[in-house]
Amino acid sequence: MDVVVVESPAKAKTINKYLGKNYKVLASFGHVRDLPAKDGSVRPDEDFAMSWSVDTASGKRLADIAKAVKDADGLILATDPDREGEAISWHVLEVLKQKRALKDKPVSRVVFNAITKASVLDAMANPRQIDAPLVDAYLARRALDYLVGFTLSPVLWRKLPGARSAGRVQSVALRLVCDRESEIERFIREEY
């Protein structure tokens, strides 16, 4: 029996029907680790090393996955086929390695774009490894979100009481809006 990890419990139930009794399909319920909201979770001076934490609910789900994997022949990571899905698979794999739950069991990654029997079976027939560049893209985005938000949000709170946060995207978008507004204010009408 192989353990298959997907993101949602609804998908797990449907995919379990498609795959049958030789597979146990479990849900991660989305992301299983995050960066704690404290200084030092991302360390730029240490090649952007990150300290991850697992909340209680995710810890229980990861323990269930680890327990199932110990009795399984292998692990199949079947989270969504995007950057976040790849990251979830990577996080699950990293935690299972830390728990020494895998031993020498084979681990593969499958992706499908539809929850149909044909699509799922086709994906299972074409496994691959985790896409490291996609995980790197996730890690870069997450580090930037953390560093920008952690650095700018306290400044924003001091300057604009009631403001909530300053993020990587909204800060740049706000800058563009402000620059454009300044251009409009400086505009001098001329005869054409």
pLDDT (0 to 100) of residue 59: 96
Q: Domain range spanning residue 96? A: 2-131
Tell me how far CA of residue 85 lies from CA of 22, 111, 132, 167, in angstroms: 24, 9, 12, 22
Judge whether 191 lies within some domain.
Answer: no
In a domain, 68, yes or no: yes
Does 159 lie in the same domain as 64? no
What does the pLDDT look like over 33-76, one tens digit per residue?
A: 999 988 889 999 999 999 999 999 999 999 999 999 999 999 99
Quick: pLDDT tens for 111-160.
Answer: 999 999 999 999 999 999 999 999 999 999 999 888 887 777 777 667 77
Same domain for 14 and 99: yes
Predicted local distance difference test score (pLDDT) of residue 66: 97
Report, as an integer, the average pLDDT of 166-180: 76
> What's the CA dihedral at 134, 138, 144, 146 to 10 degrees?
-170
Verify that 105 and 168 share a domain, yes or no: no
Same domain, 83 and 119: yes
Is 177 within a domain? yes
Averaged pLDDT score across all residues of the chain:
91
Q: How far apart (Å, rounded) are the C-alpha atoms in residues 130 and 109?
A: 6
* 122 and 144 co-located in one domain: no
Residue 163 has pLDDT above 70, yes or no: no
Asked whether the predicted pLDDT for residue 86 surpasses 70, the reply is yes
User: Alpha-carbon distance 70 to 56, whole Å?
Assistant: 21
Q: Mark which of 111, 131, 151 sits at the end of a domain.
A: 131
Q: Which of 148, 146, 150, 128 is nearest to 138 (CA)?
A: 146
Assess whether 114 and 179 both reside in one domain.
no
Please indicate, yes or no, whether residues 11 and 106 belong to a single structural domain of this protein: yes
* CATH number where 108 lies: 3.40.50.140
In this predicted structure, the answer to whether residue 167 has a pLDDT above a threshold of 80 is: no
The structure tokens listed for 135 are 């995980």
- For residue 152, is it within any domain? yes
Does one domain contain both 106 and 151? no
Number of structural domains in the chain: 2
- Whether 171 is covered by a domain: the verdict is yes
3 state DSSP class of 19: helix
pLDDT in tens, 6-40: 999 999 999 999 999 999 999 999 999 999 988 88
Give percent above pLDDT 90 in the chain.
Answer: 72
Q: Which of 66, 31, 35 is nearest to 53 (CA)?
A: 35
Looking at the structure, tell me whether residues 31 and 58 fall in a common domain. yes
Do 64 and 158 fall within a single domain? no
- Both 16 and 64 in one domain: the answer is yes
Same domain, 182 and 115: no
